[in-house]
Copies of this chain bind each other. A is one copy, B any other.
Amino acid sequence: MHFTSEQRLDDDVIEREFTLGEIPGILWTPAAASAAAPARLVLLGHPPLGLGRMYPRLAARARYCAAQGLATATIELPGSGDRPRLAAVDQARADLRRAMEAGEPVGDEIIDALILPLVDAAVPEWQTALDALLALPEIEGPVGYSGGVISIGVRLALVEPRIAAAVLFAGSFVPRAMVEEARRVTIPLHVLLQWDDEGNDRQASLDLFDAFGSKEKSLHANMGGHTGVPQSEGEAASRFLTRHLS
């Protein structure tokens, strides 16, 4: 892990860009975090649109977490930004677009091809990032995960024991195989669903929520479209993480 830049946001958040091998990432820490008083970490998930395009929303979430004493970090997804494309995923995305433009139902094969290779490639990278981040003296576990491609969150919640709680955004296609993985997830979950998100399969989201094996799970559904999560819900999600990481 190599830090490539450092700047202060406002007065109390330090933003550092880094590379982890070929993977770019960003770490935000409360300025008050130190080896003597390390901050708990939240991994910020995001859709595969590239860190550059996602930066404003990620930085806003990072600032919000920092105000509650939490560090946050994110890495570029495989196939996004300046990273090498994932040919199979690109193909699936083209198939998806064709199906949607033709008004056809989106078949399970397309969803599997779109999501599963991304999950398989991304999850080990987030785990490697976690190794590197938790080696920093100003950061400690347990760790939270928040947002982004929900199947990546589900897989991480299942396979990564350092993740103690997750905020999941039910706003992307979910392969059927992930529902089976969801049954084996047991950590506390806070699931956000935009009820009137036209690009989302609401019933699939409800089925996924139902499937989670976690004894503590909440679903917060709101109006306002895909990107319209109300501010009060951002705050509730952040309180959920603070409660479970402190």
A interface, CB within 8 angstroms of B: 195, 206, 209-210, 214-223, 230, 232-233, 236, 239-240, 243
A233 to B217, CA, bound (A): 12
A215 to B243, CA, bound (A): 30
Chain B CB count within 10 A is highest, among A216, A219, A221, A240, for A221
Which chain B residue shows the least CB distance to A190?
B232
How often does this chain occur in the complex, in copies? Answer: 2
Q: Which chain B residues lie closer than 8 Å to A209 at the CB level?
A: 195, 221
Distance in Å: Cβ of A232 to nearest Cβ of chain B? 7
A220 to B222, CA, bound (A): 9
Asked if B232 contacts A219 (CB within 8 A), the reply is: no
A239 to B239, CA, bound (A): 13
Which chain B residue shows the least CB distance to A193?
B219
Distance in Å: Cβ of A207 to nearest Cβ of chain B? 12
Q: Which chain B residues lie closer than 8 Å to A232 at the CB level?
A: 236, 239-240, 243
Q: Which chain B residues lie closer than 8 Å to A240 at the CB level?
A: 232
Which chain B residue shows the least CB distance to A191?
B221
Asked if B222 contacts A218 (CB within 8 A), the reply is: yes
- Can you sample 28 A-B contacts with CB below 8 Å? A195-B209, A195-B210, A195-B217, A195-B219, A206-B206, A209-B221, A214-B223, A215-B223, A216-B230, A217-B222, A217-B223, A218-B220, A218-B221, A218-B222, A218-B223, A218-B233, A219-B219, A219-B220, A219-B221, A219-B222, A220-B220, A220-B221, A221-B221, A232-B236, A232-B239, A232-B240, A232-B243, A236-B236
Interface secondary structure of A, over-half rule: mixed
Asked if B206 contacts A216 (CB within 8 A), the reply is: no
Task: Identify 20 new A-B residue pairs, CB closer than 8 A, beyond the known A219-B222, A232-B243.
Answer: A195-B209, A195-B210, A195-B219, A206-B206, A214-B223, A215-B223, A216-B223, A216-B230, A217-B222, A218-B221, A218-B222, A218-B223, A218-B233, A219-B219, A219-B220, A219-B221, A220-B221, A221-B221, A232-B236, A232-B239
Which chain B residue shows the least CB distance to A218?
B222
Which chain B residue shows the least CB distance to A236?
B236
Q: Which chain B residues lie closer than 8 Å to A230 at the CB level?
A: 216, 218
Which chain B residue shows the least CB distance to A240?
B232
A230 to B215, CA, bound (A): 12
